Structure 1
Amino acid sequence: MKQLDIASIRQDYSKKELSVDECLADPIAQFSVWLDEAIQSKVNEPTAMNLATVSAEGKPSARMVLLKGVEEQQFVFYSNYQSRKGEQMAVNAYVALTFFWPELERQVRIEGKIEQVKGEISDAYFQSRPYSSRVGAWASEQSRPLDAKSTLVKRAAFFAAKYITHVPRPPHWGGYAVAPERIEFWQGRPSRLHDRVVYCLSKNDWQKACLFP
Protein backbone atom coordinates (compact mmCIF):
# COMPACT_ATOMS: atom_id res chain seq x y z
CA MET A 1 0.00 0.00 0.00
CA LYS A 2 1.44 3.35 -1.05
CA GLN A 3 1.98 5.75 1.82
CA LEU A 4 0.40 9.18 1.38
CA ASP A 5 2.79 12.11 1.57
CA ILE A 6 0.51 14.40 3.54
CA ALA A 7 3.45 16.49 4.77
CA SER A 8 3.85 17.93 1.28
CA ILE A 9 0.24 19.12 0.98
CA ARG A 10 0.27 22.90 1.01
CA GLN A 11 -1.99 25.73 -0.07
CA ASP A 12 -1.06 29.37 -0.27
CA TYR A 13 -3.62 31.99 0.76
CA SER A 14 -3.98 35.36 -0.91
CA LYS A 15 -7.66 36.31 -1.35
CA LYS A 16 -8.01 39.02 1.30
CA GLU A 17 -6.23 40.96 4.02
CA LEU A 18 -7.22 41.77 7.60
CA SER A 19 -6.20 44.96 9.38
CA VAL A 20 -6.79 45.69 13.05
CA ASP A 21 -7.69 49.25 12.14
CA GLU A 22 -10.38 48.10 9.72
CA CYS A 23 -11.94 45.71 12.22
CA LEU A 24 -15.02 47.00 14.02
CA ALA A 25 -14.77 47.91 17.71
CA ASP A 26 -17.32 45.24 18.62
CA PRO A 27 -16.16 41.69 17.77
CA ILE A 28 -19.75 40.42 17.63
CA ALA A 29 -20.49 42.99 14.95
CA GLN A 30 -17.28 42.00 13.14
CA PHE A 31 -18.32 38.34 13.32
CA SER A 32 -21.74 39.21 11.90
CA VAL A 33 -20.05 40.91 8.94
CA TRP A 34 -17.90 37.85 8.26
CA LEU A 35 -20.79 35.42 8.73
CA ASP A 36 -22.92 37.40 6.29
CA GLU A 37 -20.08 37.36 3.75
CA ALA A 38 -19.74 33.60 4.21
CA ILE A 39 -23.48 33.13 3.61
CA GLN A 40 -23.53 35.47 0.62
CA SER A 41 -20.50 33.67 -0.82
CA LYS A 42 -22.38 30.36 -0.49
CA VAL A 43 -19.59 28.64 1.42
CA ASN A 44 -20.31 25.07 2.47
CA GLU A 45 -22.13 25.01 5.84
CA PRO A 46 -21.39 28.61 6.89
CA THR A 47 -22.97 28.12 10.34
CA ALA A 48 -21.06 24.91 11.13
CA MET A 49 -18.71 25.31 14.09
CA ASN A 50 -16.41 23.07 16.05
CA LEU A 51 -17.42 22.93 19.70
CA ALA A 52 -14.64 21.94 22.10
CA THR A 53 -15.47 20.92 25.67
CA VAL A 54 -13.47 19.53 28.60
CA SER A 55 -14.48 16.67 30.91
CA ALA A 56 -14.26 16.63 34.69
CA GLU A 57 -10.98 14.74 34.25
CA GLY A 58 -9.55 17.54 32.11
CA LYS A 59 -9.82 15.59 28.84
CA PRO A 60 -10.83 17.65 25.76
CA SER A 61 -13.46 16.58 23.25
CA ALA A 62 -14.62 18.24 20.04
CA ARG A 63 -17.41 17.90 17.48
CA MET A 64 -19.28 19.94 14.86
CA VAL A 65 -22.55 21.68 15.74
CA LEU A 66 -24.61 24.37 14.00
CA LEU A 67 -24.89 27.99 15.11
CA LYS A 68 -28.56 28.93 15.38
CA GLY A 69 -28.32 32.54 16.46
CA VAL A 70 -26.21 35.42 17.72
CA GLU A 71 -28.43 36.89 20.40
CA GLU A 72 -27.68 39.35 23.20
CA GLN A 73 -23.95 39.17 22.41
CA GLN A 74 -23.99 35.37 22.73
CA PHE A 75 -23.60 32.46 20.30
CA VAL A 76 -26.55 30.07 20.47
CA PHE A 77 -26.89 26.42 19.47
CA TYR A 78 -29.10 23.49 20.50
CA SER A 79 -28.39 19.94 21.64
CA ASN A 80 -29.21 17.08 23.99
CA TYR A 81 -28.42 18.00 27.60
CA GLN A 82 -27.66 14.34 28.38
CA SER A 83 -25.19 13.88 25.53
CA ARG A 84 -21.46 13.58 26.15
CA LYS A 85 -20.93 17.26 25.43
CA GLY A 86 -23.90 18.15 27.63
CA GLU A 87 -22.43 16.23 30.54
CA GLN A 88 -19.04 17.88 30.02
CA MET A 89 -20.51 21.37 29.83
CA ALA A 90 -22.42 20.69 33.05
CA VAL A 91 -19.14 20.21 34.95
CA ASN A 92 -16.94 22.66 33.00
CA ALA A 93 -18.75 25.69 31.63
CA TYR A 94 -15.83 27.00 29.55
CA VAL A 95 -15.87 26.04 25.87
CA ALA A 96 -14.29 26.98 22.56
CA LEU A 97 -15.94 27.44 19.15
CA THR A 98 -14.16 27.46 15.80
CA PHE A 99 -15.56 28.48 12.42
CA PHE A 100 -13.55 27.68 9.28
CA TRP A 101 -14.56 29.04 5.90
CA PRO A 102 -11.88 27.71 3.49
CA GLU A 103 -13.55 29.29 0.47
CA LEU A 104 -12.80 32.71 2.03
CA GLU A 105 -9.54 31.56 3.68
CA ARG A 106 -10.92 32.62 7.05
CA GLN A 107 -11.20 31.24 10.56
CA VAL A 108 -12.86 32.57 13.72
CA ARG A 109 -12.02 31.23 17.18
CA ILE A 110 -14.25 31.97 20.17
CA GLU A 111 -13.64 31.17 23.84
CA GLY A 112 -16.11 31.79 26.62
CA LYS A 113 -18.55 30.55 29.23
CA ILE A 114 -21.68 28.60 28.36
CA GLU A 115 -25.12 28.36 29.93
CA GLN A 116 -28.48 26.92 28.99
CA VAL A 117 -30.96 29.36 27.42
CA LYS A 118 -34.38 29.97 28.94
CA GLY A 119 -36.96 27.24 28.46
CA GLU A 120 -39.32 29.42 26.44
CA ILE A 121 -36.56 30.19 23.95
CA SER A 122 -35.80 26.50 23.52
CA ASP A 123 -39.53 25.78 23.17
CA ALA A 124 -39.92 28.34 20.39
CA TYR A 125 -36.93 27.07 18.44
CA PHE A 126 -37.93 23.42 18.90
CA GLN A 127 -41.35 24.06 17.38
CA SER A 128 -39.70 25.72 14.38
CA ARG A 129 -37.86 22.49 13.52
CA PRO A 130 -39.18 20.01 10.95
CA TYR A 131 -41.52 17.36 12.37
CA SER A 132 -39.03 14.55 11.77
CA SER A 133 -36.30 16.44 13.64
CA ARG A 134 -38.60 16.96 16.62
CA VAL A 135 -39.44 13.26 16.70
CA GLY A 136 -35.74 12.45 16.35
CA ALA A 137 -34.94 14.47 19.47
CA TRP A 138 -37.16 12.07 21.44
CA ALA A 139 -35.91 8.94 19.66
CA SER A 140 -32.19 9.53 20.12
CA GLU A 141 -30.53 8.83 23.45
CA GLN A 142 -27.57 10.79 22.19
CA SER A 143 -24.09 9.42 22.94
CA ARG A 144 -25.49 6.26 24.58
CA PRO A 145 -24.56 2.80 23.19
CA LEU A 146 -26.87 1.61 20.39
CA ASP A 147 -27.22 -2.16 19.92
CA ALA A 148 -28.67 -1.94 16.39
CA LYS A 149 -29.93 0.71 13.95
CA SER A 150 -33.32 -1.02 14.05
CA THR A 151 -33.66 0.02 17.70
CA LEU A 152 -33.37 3.68 16.73
CA VAL A 153 -35.85 3.23 13.87
CA LYS A 154 -38.35 1.58 16.22
CA ARG A 155 -37.96 4.38 18.75
CA ALA A 156 -38.57 6.98 16.04
CA ALA A 157 -41.71 5.10 14.93
CA PHE A 158 -42.92 4.88 18.53
CA PHE A 159 -42.62 8.61 19.17
CA ALA A 160 -44.07 9.47 15.76
CA ALA A 161 -47.15 7.43 16.69
CA LYS A 162 -47.25 9.03 20.14
CA TYR A 163 -46.95 12.60 18.85
CA ILE A 164 -48.93 12.58 15.62
CA THR A 165 -49.38 16.34 15.36
CA HIS A 166 -47.86 18.28 18.24
CA VAL A 167 -44.40 17.21 19.42
CA PRO A 168 -43.45 18.80 22.77
CA ARG A 169 -39.82 19.65 23.50
CA PRO A 170 -38.09 16.86 25.43
CA PRO A 171 -36.91 17.96 28.90
CA HIS A 172 -33.42 16.73 28.00
CA TRP A 173 -33.11 18.90 24.88
CA GLY A 174 -32.60 22.64 24.52
CA GLY A 175 -30.37 25.59 23.79
CA TYR A 176 -26.98 26.74 24.94
CA ALA A 177 -25.53 30.25 24.77
CA VAL A 178 -21.81 31.04 24.77
CA ALA A 179 -20.83 34.39 26.26
CA PRO A 180 -17.47 35.16 24.58
CA GLU A 181 -14.43 36.40 26.47
CA ARG A 182 -11.94 36.08 23.60
CA ILE A 183 -12.56 36.16 19.84
CA GLU A 184 -9.88 35.83 17.19
CA PHE A 185 -10.22 36.51 13.47
CA TRP A 186 -7.76 34.81 11.12
CA GLN A 187 -7.25 35.66 7.46
CA GLY A 188 -4.96 33.45 5.40
CA ARG A 189 -2.07 35.23 3.68
CA PRO A 190 0.82 34.19 1.38
CA SER A 191 3.95 32.51 2.80
CA ARG A 192 2.07 31.67 6.02
CA LEU A 193 2.30 35.35 7.04
CA HIS A 194 -1.35 35.24 8.08
CA ASP A 195 -3.31 38.17 9.53
CA ARG A 196 -4.64 37.63 13.05
CA VAL A 197 -6.73 40.08 15.08
CA VAL A 198 -7.76 39.15 18.62
CA TYR A 199 -10.36 40.74 20.90
CA CYS A 200 -10.15 40.17 24.67
CA LEU A 201 -12.86 41.19 27.12
CA SER A 202 -11.56 43.26 30.03
CA LYS A 203 -13.92 44.87 32.55
CA ASN A 204 -16.82 44.73 30.07
CA ASP A 205 -14.74 46.42 27.35
CA TRP A 206 -13.27 44.76 24.29
CA GLN A 207 -9.59 45.34 23.56
CA LYS A 208 -8.26 44.37 20.14
CA ALA A 209 -4.73 43.73 18.93
CA CYS A 210 -2.71 42.03 16.19
CA LEU A 211 -0.97 38.70 16.77
CA PHE A 212 2.03 37.12 15.15
CA PRO A 213 0.93 34.32 12.82
Structure 2
Amino acid sequence: MTLANIRTDYQRASLSEEQVDADPIKQFSIWFQEALDAKVAEPNAMSLATVNQQGRPSSRIVLIKELDQRGITWYTHYTSRKGEELATNPHAALLFFWSELERQVRIEGRVEKVTALENDTYFNSRPLASRLGALASEQSQVIANRALLDERVEKITAQYGDQVPRPEHWGGYRLVPDYLEFWQGRSSRLHDRIAYEKNADGVWLRSRLQP
Protein backbone atom coordinates (compact mmCIF):
# COMPACT_ATOMS: atom_id res chain seq x y z
CA MET A 1 0.00 0.00 0.00
CA THR A 2 1.30 3.44 -0.97
CA LEU A 3 -0.13 6.05 1.38
CA ALA A 4 0.51 8.90 -1.05
CA ASN A 5 -1.92 7.31 -3.52
CA ILE A 6 -4.88 7.32 -1.12
CA ARG A 7 -7.14 10.20 -2.11
CA THR A 8 -10.79 11.15 -2.51
CA ASP A 9 -12.04 13.69 -5.04
CA TYR A 10 -14.83 15.65 -3.33
CA GLN A 11 -17.76 16.47 -5.59
CA ARG A 12 -20.91 16.54 -3.47
CA ALA A 13 -21.46 20.29 -3.07
CA SER A 14 -20.08 23.81 -3.16
CA LEU A 15 -20.16 26.74 -0.74
CA SER A 16 -20.52 30.41 -1.60
CA GLU A 17 -20.79 33.62 0.38
CA GLU A 18 -24.39 33.94 -0.76
CA GLN A 19 -25.29 30.54 0.74
CA VAL A 20 -24.09 31.11 4.29
CA ASP A 21 -25.82 32.99 7.10
CA ALA A 22 -24.33 36.25 8.37
CA ASP A 23 -24.31 34.70 11.85
CA PRO A 24 -21.80 31.82 12.01
CA ILE A 25 -23.58 30.22 14.98
CA LYS A 26 -26.76 30.02 12.92
CA GLN A 27 -24.76 28.67 9.99
CA PHE A 28 -23.25 26.00 12.21
CA SER A 29 -26.75 25.06 13.41
CA ILE A 30 -27.86 24.68 9.79
CA TRP A 31 -24.95 22.41 8.94
CA PHE A 32 -25.35 20.41 12.13
CA GLN A 33 -29.02 19.75 11.33
CA GLU A 34 -28.05 18.71 7.80
CA ALA A 35 -25.53 16.28 9.30
CA LEU A 36 -28.30 14.84 11.49
CA ASP A 37 -30.64 14.57 8.51
CA ALA A 38 -27.93 12.81 6.50
CA LYS A 39 -27.48 10.33 9.36
CA VAL A 40 -23.79 11.11 9.67
CA ALA A 41 -22.10 8.77 12.15
CA GLU A 42 -21.83 10.63 15.46
CA PRO A 43 -22.29 14.17 14.09
CA ASN A 44 -21.87 15.47 17.65
CA ALA A 45 -18.28 14.17 17.89
CA MET A 46 -15.62 16.88 17.79
CA SER A 47 -11.87 17.02 18.15
CA LEU A 48 -10.85 19.24 21.08
CA ALA A 49 -7.31 20.67 20.99
CA THR A 50 -5.71 22.26 24.06
CA VAL A 51 -2.20 23.49 24.84
CA ASN A 52 -0.17 23.07 28.05
CA GLN A 53 2.16 25.56 29.76
CA GLN A 54 5.08 24.44 27.62
CA GLY A 55 3.15 25.14 24.42
CA ARG A 56 2.69 21.45 23.63
CA PRO A 57 -0.71 20.69 22.03
CA SER A 58 -2.91 17.66 22.61
CA SER A 59 -6.23 16.62 21.10
CA ARG A 60 -9.01 14.12 21.71
CA ILE A 61 -12.61 13.45 20.66
CA VAL A 62 -15.38 14.77 22.91
CA LEU A 63 -19.12 15.22 22.35
CA ILE A 64 -20.93 18.52 22.00
CA LYS A 65 -23.82 18.74 24.47
CA GLU A 66 -25.20 22.22 23.90
CA LEU A 67 -25.07 24.93 21.24
CA ASP A 68 -26.42 28.46 21.58
CA GLN A 69 -25.29 32.04 21.11
CA ARG A 70 -23.06 31.72 24.18
CA GLY A 71 -20.99 29.00 22.54
CA ILE A 72 -20.40 25.25 22.45
CA THR A 73 -20.56 23.13 25.61
CA TRP A 74 -19.12 19.73 26.54
CA TYR A 75 -18.62 17.90 29.85
CA THR A 76 -15.62 16.14 31.32
CA HIS A 77 -13.39 15.80 34.39
CA TYR A 78 -11.79 19.08 35.47
CA THR A 79 -8.79 17.10 36.75
CA SER A 80 -8.16 15.36 33.40
CA ARG A 81 -5.28 16.35 31.13
CA LYS A 82 -7.50 18.64 29.09
CA GLY A 83 -8.87 20.16 32.30
CA GLU A 84 -5.39 20.87 33.61
CA GLU A 85 -4.36 22.41 30.30
CA LEU A 86 -7.48 24.60 30.14
CA ALA A 87 -6.76 25.78 33.70
CA THR A 88 -3.42 27.21 32.57
CA ASN A 89 -4.42 28.20 29.02
CA PRO A 90 -8.19 28.79 28.70
CA HIS A 91 -8.24 28.72 24.91
CA ALA A 92 -9.06 25.80 22.64
CA ALA A 93 -9.85 24.71 19.10
CA LEU A 94 -12.66 22.40 17.98
CA LEU A 95 -12.98 20.46 14.75
CA PHE A 96 -16.06 18.74 13.35
CA PHE A 97 -15.54 16.47 10.34
CA TRP A 98 -18.59 15.08 8.55
CA SER A 99 -17.09 12.88 5.85
CA GLU A 100 -20.45 11.83 4.45
CA LEU A 101 -21.12 15.47 3.53
CA GLU A 102 -17.47 16.26 2.69
CA ARG A 103 -17.53 19.06 5.27
CA GLN A 104 -15.58 20.24 8.25
CA VAL A 105 -16.00 23.13 10.69
CA ARG A 106 -13.16 24.68 12.68
CA ILE A 107 -14.00 26.71 15.79
CA GLU A 108 -11.60 28.62 18.05
CA GLY A 109 -12.07 30.73 21.15
CA ARG A 110 -11.69 31.12 24.89
CA VAL A 111 -13.06 28.52 27.27
CA GLU A 112 -15.00 29.01 30.51
CA LYS A 113 -16.61 26.65 33.00
CA VAL A 114 -20.40 26.43 33.02
CA THR A 115 -22.42 27.02 36.18
CA ALA A 116 -22.97 24.47 38.95
CA LEU A 117 -26.67 24.42 38.07
CA GLU A 118 -25.90 23.53 34.46
CA ASN A 119 -23.52 20.82 35.68
CA ASP A 120 -26.13 19.29 37.99
CA THR A 121 -28.89 19.45 35.40
CA TYR A 122 -26.88 17.67 32.74
CA PHE A 123 -25.24 15.17 35.12
CA ASN A 124 -28.61 14.06 36.47
CA SER A 125 -29.91 13.56 32.91
CA ARG A 126 -27.15 11.08 32.07
CA PRO A 127 -27.67 7.29 32.07
CA LEU A 128 -26.98 5.71 35.44
CA ALA A 129 -23.93 3.82 34.17
CA SER A 130 -22.38 7.06 32.91
CA ARG A 131 -22.93 8.77 36.27
CA LEU A 132 -21.36 5.83 38.09
CA GLY A 133 -18.42 5.88 35.71
CA ALA A 134 -17.81 9.59 36.24
CA LEU A 135 -17.59 9.02 39.98
CA ALA A 136 -15.42 5.92 39.69
CA SER A 137 -12.87 7.22 37.21
CA GLU A 138 -9.99 9.58 37.94
CA GLN A 139 -9.73 10.49 34.29
CA SER A 140 -6.22 10.60 32.76
CA GLN A 141 -4.60 9.17 35.92
CA VAL A 142 -2.59 5.93 35.75
CA ILE A 143 -4.30 2.75 36.97
CA ALA A 144 -2.71 -0.69 37.29
CA ASN A 145 -5.38 -2.65 35.43
CA ARG A 146 -9.00 -2.73 34.28
CA ALA A 147 -10.06 -4.92 37.19
CA LEU A 148 -9.37 -2.11 39.65
CA LEU A 149 -11.63 0.25 37.71
CA ASP A 150 -14.40 -2.37 37.59
CA GLU A 151 -14.06 -2.87 41.35
CA ARG A 152 -14.50 0.85 41.93
CA VAL A 153 -17.66 0.87 39.84
CA GLU A 154 -19.04 -2.07 41.84
CA LYS A 155 -18.30 -0.37 45.16
CA ILE A 156 -19.84 2.92 44.09
CA THR A 157 -22.91 1.13 42.74
CA ALA A 158 -23.35 -0.65 46.08
CA GLN A 159 -22.84 2.61 47.96
CA TYR A 160 -25.12 4.93 45.98
CA GLY A 161 -27.49 2.77 43.95
CA ASP A 162 -29.24 5.11 41.52
CA GLN A 163 -28.69 8.23 43.66
CA VAL A 164 -25.27 9.12 42.32
CA PRO A 165 -23.94 12.54 43.37
CA ARG A 166 -22.11 14.66 40.84
CA PRO A 167 -18.38 14.68 41.63
CA GLU A 168 -17.04 18.18 42.30
CA HIS A 169 -14.26 17.51 39.80
CA TRP A 170 -16.74 16.81 36.98
CA GLY A 171 -18.47 19.49 34.93
CA GLY A 172 -18.87 21.44 31.75
CA TYR A 173 -16.83 23.80 29.65
CA ARG A 174 -18.14 26.31 27.14
CA LEU A 175 -16.03 27.53 24.24
CA VAL A 176 -16.95 31.12 23.42
CA PRO A 177 -16.02 31.38 19.74
CA ASP A 178 -14.21 34.23 18.06
CA TYR A 179 -13.35 32.30 14.89
CA LEU A 180 -15.29 29.78 12.79
CA GLU A 181 -14.39 28.32 9.42
CA PHE A 182 -16.72 26.32 7.18
CA TRP A 183 -14.98 23.98 4.73
CA GLN A 184 -16.71 22.26 1.84
CA GLY A 185 -14.68 19.72 -0.09
CA ARG A 186 -14.36 20.40 -3.84
CA SER A 187 -12.79 18.60 -6.76
CA SER A 188 -9.02 18.78 -7.37
CA ARG A 189 -8.44 20.02 -3.81
CA LEU A 190 -9.88 23.45 -4.73
CA HIS A 191 -12.03 23.45 -1.61
CA ASP A 192 -14.42 26.21 -0.52
CA ARG A 193 -13.50 27.88 2.79
CA ILE A 194 -15.64 30.60 4.37
CA ALA A 195 -14.26 32.07 7.61
CA TYR A 196 -15.85 34.30 10.26
CA GLU A 197 -13.77 36.32 12.72
CA LYS A 198 -15.17 38.50 15.50
CA ASN A 199 -13.63 41.97 15.68
CA ALA A 200 -13.05 44.17 18.74
CA ASP A 201 -16.62 45.53 18.47
CA GLY A 202 -18.12 42.04 18.56
CA VAL A 203 -19.07 42.09 14.88
CA TRP A 204 -18.55 38.96 12.77
CA LEU A 205 -16.47 39.64 9.65
CA ARG A 206 -16.73 37.10 6.85
CA SER A 207 -14.10 36.24 4.25
CA ARG A 208 -13.22 33.57 1.70
CA LEU A 209 -9.94 31.72 2.18
CA GLN A 210 -7.93 30.10 -0.55
CA PRO A 211 -7.88 26.29 -0.40
CA separation in 1, counterparts of 2:108 and 2:77? Answer: 21
**From 45, 49, 52, the counterpart of 1:52:** 49
Paired position in structure 1 for 2:139: 142
Deviation at 1:162, TM superposition (A): 1.2
- Report the equivalent of 1:208: 206
- The letter for the 2-side match of 1:32 is S
Corresponding residue number in structure 2 for 1:166: 163
| Residue 129 (structure 2) aligns with | 132
Kindly indicate whether residue 127 of structure 2 is the aligned counterpart of residue 97 of structure 1. no
Q: 1:35-114 counterparts in 2 under 5 A?
A: 35-114=32-111
CA distance in 2, matches of 1:99, 1:66: 10
SS of alignment partner, residue 70 of structure 1: strand
Aligned pair count reads: 210
**Shift, 1:168, TM fit:** 1.1
SS at match of 1:183: strand
Q: What TM-score, normalized by structure 2, do the two folds share? A: 0.98
Deviations 1:145-180, CA, capped at 9 Å, x for gaps: 010100000000111111112111100000000000
Tell me if the contact between 1:56 and 1:91 (Cα under 8 Å) persists in the aligned partners: yes
Q: Tell me, what secondary structure is at the counterpart of 1:23? A: coil
Q: Distance in 1 between matches of 2:155 and 2:22?
A: 51
Question: Which amino acid is 1:205 matched to?
Answer: V
Query: Could you report, residue by residue, the CA deviation over 1:33-69 in whole angstroms, capped at 9, with x for unpaired residues?
Result: 0000001100011000000000011100000000001
* Structure 2 counterpart of 1:133, one-letter code: S
Residue identity over aligned pairs, in percent, reads 50
Give the Cα separation in 2 of the matches to 1:72 and 1:196: 22
For the residue of structure 2 that corresponds to 1:197, the secondary structure is: strand
Structure 1, unmatched stretches of 5+, are none
Deviations 1:60-111 (Å, cap 9, x if unpaired)?
0000000001033300000000000000000001100000000000000000
Paired with 1:189 and 1:138, the residues of 2 have a C-alpha distance of: 45
Q: Does 1:155 align with 2:156?
A: no
C-alpha RMSD of the superposition: 0.7
Query: Which 4+ stretches in 1 moved above 4 angstroms?
Result: none
Secondary structure in structure 1 of the residue aligned to 2:193: strand
Determine if contact 1:28/1:73 at 8 Å carries over to the other structure: no
Unmatched segments (≥5 aa) in structure 2: none
**Contact 1:186–1:196 at 8 Å: present in 2 too?**
yes
**Amino acid in the other structure paired with 1:163:** Y
Aligned equivalents of 1:152, 1:5: Cα separation in 2: 41
Deviation at residue 185 of structure 1 after TM alignment: 0.1
2:25–2:68: 8 Å Cα contact kept in structure 1?
A: no
TM-score (norm 1): 0.97
